[in-house]
Structure formats: C-alpha cells, structure tokens
Amino acid sequence: MEAANRGAFEAGGLSVGCNIELPFEQRSNPYLTKSLKFKYFFVRKMMFVKYSLGFVIFPGGFGTLDELFEILTLVQTQKLAKKVLVMIYGGKDYWQKILNIDALIEFGAVSPEDRDLYRFVDSPEEAFNTLREGLTKYHLQRPSPQAEARAEQEGPEIAVTQPPHREHGPDMHASQIYDAKKLRELAKKKG
C-alpha cells in the first residue's frame, strides 16, 4: 500500500491509508494525507473494496493473500455492483507457484473462467495501461438513465448484489434450501 500512497502523496493527491490494529507489523506509512484505523479485518476490507475501482496486488504474506481472495470472491460471486479490476504484479513465476489456479481448476474448486477475474502484469507500464483501459471502459462512460435509476433504488454499491445465476447450487435439491424462518423453526424443534 505504501507505493500507491507515495505516488499519490508526491503528486499532490489524496492519499488514504486503511490500517488495522495489530500487535505487530502494521503501522501507518509516512505518505498519508488521511489515515483510517480499523479494529476488525472485515470492516477494513469492506471499506477499501467499497471505494476502489482497481487493485494492484504485490507479493506478500497471509494478509495480502486474504485480501486478494476476498476481492476475487466478491468479483466471482458478483457481490459488487461495479466492475473491479484486479492486477497481480511482481513476477508470474512467484504468483503461479503461490496461487496455482490450475490445481484449483483441476480439483473443481474454481472454474476455468475464473482466470478472467484477474490479470498478471509485470511492469509499471503494463499495470498503468491495464488500469487506464479498464477504468475508461467500465467507469468513465456515463451509465444509462435506467442504470442510474436502478442504482438509486438499490442503495449503496457494496450492498447491492447482482441477480443470481441459479437459485441454488448444482448438487442441491430445492427441498434442501431453507430460508431463515424455516431454519429458526427447525432449531426450535430440535432445541
């Protein structure tokens, strides 16, 4: 995050940091014009996803992988009402060993189409061009009046979900699907 903050700070722009309270590792970097501190990871992730249109993921540890998979899951399951660009930067050799998407596909954990949720980039120029192209295509064109009306009715972007592709999973029979009311009734019967 420091690299992005430094670029924005040195260009005279707004540079926001989303920090988490931890006993070690996390501290604010010196390139912030606004520092937000969070106690819980899920709140921090929600805030940076809500206000972001793109992510460039650099090599990192468990926290980086957690954030990457959270973003990819939100994009895959269409839980965001906006197109979010995900670029994975820093050497395909590193990331292909860490992510091993082919193994996930082989074991049926993800679909081959899920490779389209992200893009590997190996240079600042490639990352910049990918961002510029995606932001222009998905965010700088004015939405139709129908889309604007729908967005106003549906509320904040992160709270909006896309229509489901199917009512339930492929291996589930409709009789196995319970709503919250039915689950409470079942719990009362068993309790």
CA distance 187 to 20: 37
Mean local confidence (pLDDT), 144-149? 76
The residue with tokens 């106690």 is 39
Q: What is the DSSP letter of 31?
A: T
56 membership: H or E segment, kind and range: strand 54-57
Maximum distance among all Cα pairs of the chain, rounded to whole angstroms: 63
- Cα torsion through 106, 111, 117, 122, rounded to 10: 20
Q: What is the pTM of this model?
A: 0.69
The residue with tokens 């819980």 is 40
**What would the pLDDT profile of 91-129 be if each residue is shown by its tens digit?**
778 888 898 889 999 999 999 999 999 999 999 899 999
Tell me the average pLDDT of the chain: 80
Which domains are present in the chain?
1-39 (no CATH), 52-190 (3.40.50)
Q: Are 45 and 67 in contact (CB under 8 A)?
A: yes
Q: 14 phi and psi, to 5 degrees?
A: -75, 130
pLDDT range class, residue 1, cuts 50, 70, 90: confident
Burial 119-158 (b: 16+ CB within 10 A, else e): ebbeeeeebeebbeebeeeeeeeeeeeeeeeeeeeeeeeb
Q: Pull the structure tokens for residue 64.
A: 């980086």
Q: Decide: helix, strand or coil at residue 14.
A: coil
What pLDDT is attached to residue 31?
A: 92
pLDDT range class, residue 155, cuts 50, 70, 90: low
- Say which amino acid occupies 88: I
Closest residue by Cα to residue 16 from 40, 36, 42: 36
CA distance 187 to 157: 34
**What would the pLDDT profile of 164-178 be if each residue is shown by its tens digit?**
444 444 444 444 444
182 or 125, which is more confident: 125
pLDDT value at 22 more than 70: yes
